[in-house]
Each structure stands twice: as structure tokens, then as C-alpha cells.
Amino acid sequence: MTDTFDILERIVEETKCKPGWYFHLKNEDGAKRLVITIAGVNNYDHSQKFTVAHIHPVPITTFNEKSWRRWIFEQCLRTMNHEIGESLRFGPDEIRPFVPCHGPGEESIYGA
């Protein structure tokens, strides 16, 4: 199977989203990754500036331009879902029931 990474690379170079969001591709151990870097604030203490990189494995596929754009859109949604899961809180105790895990086997200390 042939990949269409040349199309993806061109699209990523021209991708823009929210203020403070940056996109690039990187090669990691022989695999491509889409990195969405967000310069913002710490979701647990909004008084602290914080930059985080969300890393998404790139599938080996023969997507066309429209399909790659849709794939990038889906990765942006995954990134937003993660960030909202960290930020959303309820009640006076500020319970965070949707805090995502950050690695294999990690248990949330914030969720209910």
C-alpha cells in the first residue's frame, strides 16, 4: 500500500485553528505523528500559563486532500474533548468526572 503523506504534509503546513494552536508532523520511531500544540493555561490552575502537545498517530493510508482534512478535524475534536474533560467541573467541590487519563494504566485522581 502506498501512503499519501505528501498531501498530508502540505495540508498540515497550511492548517490553522484556534489562537495558540500550532500543527506539525514529526517522525517518531519510524511512524508519523500529528502534533497539535496548544499554548494556553493550566486546566487545573488557570492562573498558570501552560503549553501542551497532543500527539496523534497518523494512519498509513491513501487519503485524498478532503479525507486528510477531515482526519485533522477529527484529531482537533479529540484534542478539544481531552481539554474539556480536564476543565469541566461541577458543584462546590468542583468534581471533575470526565478527566482523561494521560497514559496506560493511569487512574484519574480528580474524577468522581
Domain ranges in the chain are: 5-87
Q: For residue 46, which of 109, 91, 89 has the smallest C-alpha distance?
A: 89
pLDDT of residue 85: 94
pLDDT of residue 101: 81
pTM of the model: 0.87
Residue 110 gets which letter from DSSP? Answer: S
**Residue range 24-68, pLDDT digits in tens:** 999 988 899 999 999 999 998 989 999 999 999 999 999 999 999
